[in-house]
Amino acid sequence: MAVLLGGNMIPSLGVSVFIAILIYITYKLLSSYLHKWFEMKPIPELGGTYPFIGNALQFKTNAGDFFRQIEDYTREFCDAPLLKLWIGPVPFVILFHAETVETVLSNPVHMDKAQAYNFLHPWLGTGLLTSTGRKWRQRRKMLTPTFHFSILTDFLEVMNEQADILVEKLEKQAGKGPFNCFSHITLCALDIICETAMGKKIYAQSNSESEYVKSVYKMSDIISRRQRTPWFWPDFVYNYFGEGREHDKTLKVLHSFTYNVIHERAEKISDTESDSDSDQGTKKRRAFLDMLLKTTDENGNTMSHQDIQEEVDTFMFRGHDTTAASMNWAIHLLGSHPEAHGKVQQELQEVFGTSDRAINTEDLKKLKYLECVIKEALRLFPSVPFFARRICEDCHINGFKVPEGANATIITYTLHRDPRYFPEPEEFRPERFLPENSVGRPPYAYLPFSAGLRNCIGQRFALMEEKVILASILRNFNVEACQKREELRPVGELILRPEKGIWITLEKRT
């Protein structure tokens, strides 16, 4: 009898412990939620906020509609220092003024990326974009030397070669009426990042049907959709009722490709440690991957292949889409503004004359007006239209208390349109970025590459690539835009893209 009683008591005790743990977790979550709710109550908020659901049901699921919705909210609350909204039980403060943005980005405490970045972890792991704390600091310190200007100069040859291929492709479109240039420029950027990051030619410009090329775009779309639909945030819901299977299938293609490239490259490096070894009679080019395979920390430890894959996947994701979008927006703006178009071509004439030689580092320094054009394009159409941080300790933003655990989302698209620092903000004026016109502008009023400790490590690489590609196009063609600004309809996914591409006509220069 005692044995039977004891046997019955064990499962009863287990159930009781389980229920107690469940009650405790529910209590902690509920108390945390209510604490944030009351702490943040004074912050201006959207109407129609419901307990536990927040504003989730108000958001559009279509990427373009969602972006315009966020844009409308910031316009509606333009006089408010910040805006609050809830996505399920998670609070977000929306920042779009230089002084409020600075409070977050200049404080090293708030260095962690927001919860929405967790959906990038299966693809990018915890590399430079998504890691936090000690790992991020150590990784950033290790990787910074690989972006030294002298090393970036080695990549100019690749950029020039791929720009020449792009020009050859565009010549077939010259004089033949309107066409969408978006994919042409994007595939060129993808070829550049593949060869410079991995030392691998994928010939995207001549083979846009590549499985890897398609998978990069597909994965970006999948992640972006999940970020906008909080009911798919829990993994078990996403895997059974969402796009979990499609996500994993696409992920397998991406990881297999970079895994194989890393192991092939590692074997070649182990075969020879000499950078002067020839490959079919030509000097072997360095790639980021080669440097990562040789990089060591302060203790002399090399990065594991898993660590390297995180960074290579990150470079591939962040290193082509952002620059491609920026170049496309710049092409549209130049094609819409003949005066700026003429000034760029005049500058190119002064630097290159009638020569068709490759672009070198000295040329890049002289292309000052083209750089202003790129910066103004990034102001109007920042490649990353918004990004988010986690508030890691209680703080005050413009007098409002924001508790630890909330998220701060910086809307660069709206920030860059502050009329205090950019008068007539919708006008395209590259001259805004001439040195004499930039005096007194707050450093946090313009953030195309973020700011603070987590600013973009690859921004010099990006500007170099954009100058090379845009200069190559404008040395060979006159560009005319076929769309008005209101027809572009920007889509704010992970990258800011035009809904239906960039349509232009080209005329061959003689």
Please, are residues 410 and 387 in contact by the beta-carbon 8 Å criterion? yes
Binding residues, as ranges, are 456
**Which letter does DSSP use for residue 478 in this model?**
E
Give the whole-angstrom CA distance, residue 185 versus residue 450: 24
Query: What tokens does 263 get?
Result: 């192991």
Binding residues for heme, as ranges, are 456
Give the whole-angstrom CA distance, residue 121 versus residue 490: 26
| 52: region left, alpha or beta (phi > 0 left; psi from -120 to 50 alpha) | left
Query: What tokens does 359 get?
Result: 């672009």
Q: Give the number of other CB atoms < 10 A from CB of residue 17.
A: 10
Q: Around 501, how many Cα atoms within 13 Å sit in the side-chain half-sphere?
A: 12
Sequence-separated (6 or more) residues with CB below 8 Å from residue 181? 170, 173, 328, 331, 501, 502, 503, 504
Asked whether the CA dihedral 456, 457, 461, 463 is positive or negative, the reply is positive
Query: What tokens does 245 get?
Result: 């299977």
Q: How far is CA 303 from CA 261, 290, 315, 375, in A?
A: 16, 12, 16, 35
DSSP for 160-186, please give it: HHHHHHHHHHHHTTTTS--EE-HHHHH
Give the whole-angstrom CA distance, residue 244 versus residue 240: 7
Please, are residues 242 and 232 in contact by the beta-carbon 8 Å criterion? yes
Give the whole-angstrom CA distance, residue 98 versus residue 74: 14
Give the whole-angstrom CA distance, residue 486 versus residue 133: 42
